[in-house]
Structure 1
């Protein structure tokens, strides 16, 4: 990663399907000098990567319907440091970055509410535990 530092953030965006939402996300990243932002309720289908309005990358993990979904938006410099990204589910994704001292893993997690049924919660927390078990330190 570059020597200008790393500024991380999280944002419950509620959706990235609205016509101007990706441009707004891009503008806010630039304005606040955010390097990496974990996004929840992205509501994008499937998984993939695309460029935002200013060419910053957006990675996401969703389902076939426009519910839930997580994402990771990066500035272009941090995209160069990205070694691996994995769409785990519509509520989990992880990314591994290289930097001058070692490597770093970021997990984006969109947890369930207490209103969710016990089986769904157990499945989610089992998937989160499996995801965490595969990550060497340091972890954000």
Structure 2
């Protein structure tokens, strides 16, 4: 669940992020991933400290990995994640993908993660930005 899997396609300048939480997202209430107590907080803090992200575990075996939607909603995580900062700066484009497990019906669960896993600030989703297009230089 670390940033070992590549969530970017550097040829097309695209960063992939899950559009929603997967069915067993570590940021869902109830510890559906059966992690040790405090593990989500530890993973989140490590990703923030390294200015990286958490990869959605549902996309690890998919053709292309993506940033976990729960992590992308974390206000400090989204602010410190290098890939998402490059999206906000217009250097890369954000591609929202549907997590593979969303194809399996699951009960509706509130989108916000428990406070134990997040900072005191309430989570805010990162919205995709339009690509600025190719840069053109002006010849004088």
TM-score, normalization by structure 2 = 0.27
Larger radius of gyration: 2
Higher relative contact order (CA 8 A, sep 6+): 2
